[in-house]
Structure 1
Amino acid sequence: MVLGKNRQVVLISRPDGIPQAENFSIVESMILVPSVGQVVVQNEWLSVEPAMRGWVSAVANYSEPVALGSVMRSYAAGRIVASQHPDWPVGTAVTGMFGWQEFALVDSTQIQRRIDEVELPLSTALGVLGTNGITAHYGLLQVGQPKPGETVVVSTAAGAVGSCVGQIANLHGCRTVGIAGGEAKRRLCLERFGFDAAVDYKAADFSEHLAEACSGGVDVYFDNTAGPITDAVMAHLNIGARIVVCGTASVPSWSPPPLGPRAERDILVKRARMQGFVIFDHLDYYEQARADLAEWVRGGHLAYAEDVLDGIEAAPDAIAGLYRGENLGKRLIRLSEKA
């Protein structure tokens, strides 16, 4: 038996670098009735992540590549509309790796969690209370280990992860410097997210402004970009600095490895530590981080911005748009008019 029609975004070709709209296709399928232990989720929000570039690459990184012809991997948030599991009744708001599709037939084990923050918008489960916020929380506090009075520099500071990093650093008594692309994003860092200073990496005088903003040196650098931005920050490290490697958004392809300045000398001379992390390795940390994040949002101490695209038709080009720098805040795809 079927419950109706479903639209899905499937991967039809491997991208050369950043995924483009032509690498995806929207197909129609049927929504099957769930078997015992399964539920059907009507997705209301789909997430768009910079990490999706790696998920569709032919070269496996920390996860297996999305298979050609399959639904694009994605976090989603929605409500259960059909259930064959007593613990997951119809109407329950849930989130999980449900994919870019309007409806998802999943085993109950694929549900990441029940969304209990009913006083907050459902979309926050994919951003500030989701993987983005948790990544910021873990990466800064566990890897970066900031101390009050230290200077924390964040690249892609107006993005979903970077904006949280800056605010969490402020909450822990640090001075914060944001790096973002364009004047609008620079202003967003200052006016919405409360960075103490913000610089535009696209500006001709970026190096001079960065040096001014970091005149006392950099104690923690939360790196979402790699490339020339990181090269510029490394010159300002303090002794004992920590570099948190969260992303490499500025480098379209790592094959062959890009040429450029090397970090070894700066790390040696400044006795710095450089560490990468993948948040999926730390699932036992999620509950602790989410409790903090929700408390800070409710208390008005953690602001967030959402960049909303409407309709599943917007999905194929959504990742490329991230790398074109179109978004102001967390990029989401809204599927429901009620969302």
Structure 2
Amino acid sequence: MDSYLVTGASGFVGGHVVRDLRRRGHDVVAAGRRADRLPSGGETFVGDLDDLARASHRVDVVVHCAALSSPWGRRAEFEHANVTGTARVLDFARRVGTRRLVHLSSPGIYAAPRDRVGIREDEVDARRPMNEYIRSKLAAEELLSAAADRSDAPEIVVLRPRGIVGPGDPSLVPRLLRVHARVGVPLMRGGRGLVDLTSVENVALAVRLAATAEGVHGEAFNVTNGDPRPFGEVLEQLLRGLGLPLRGRPVPARAAYALAGALEGVCSVLPGRPEPPMTRYTVTTIAHSQTLDISKARRLLGYEPEVTLDESLAGYARA
């Protein structure tokens, strides 16, 4: 049985990964900043990624889930959390002789204000990142790609799970619900844009497969449920499960994108740089179809989604 250290274990995805691995009998060090939110039932390491310099756990696999994830923020904050933080994880893995590092990146690196269907892993345009989060995730992947060529590096595998949902989701669905309660959810292009979501349990499955698959050093893999659906239909199903009526607001996509850009410009010069009520990235994700090709994960990892989107939406509503 492999032993693991999972960063970001006090968060939504990292916590699921820890619990999934422990259920299967693995020894797992749950690493995170919030001791009160780390999964119980095993060893923990309390601290941020800088603190890994004092960690001495000998583990076979490191799973790097920790990240600062937001459509808005300061470049320096994202740089430290997502680029310097990834470097700290890599340093730890080298120092303790870890066999493999599984890094959770983001398909936000594919973002563009247009429809993109069946995006493959090599279809990344890094020239114009839409926000500082995306810039930092691109830089973290570049750092790992360079490290993969070094003889002292662990085997490195990158996963790009899109739109992670399920019980305990603290970000994606709550953001939608706040907007729904406040003003109604913008429905651009009639809500027909395809969204390609991933059940959190399927992310944990992909992590297990990426930790053990042969011949995948230096590879990146898209991960979704493989079940793209129109945004409006997903929203209506979620709200129905929560007993809420749909409050949609028809909004022209082009005008929304322009307004979001203007709001970003204003908020960037206001004291404290408050997050705009709407960002270009948010508009892009709900106005345009963006789906991922997961055939590479199926072929090389043996990945097949086990939990359906219907089950995840129902599970969130119950929770």
Q: TM-score range by the shorter chain?
A: under 0.3
Q: What TM-score does the superposition give when structure 2 sets the normalisation length?
A: 0.27
**Bigger radius of gyration among the two:** 1
Q: Which has the higher strand share?
A: 1
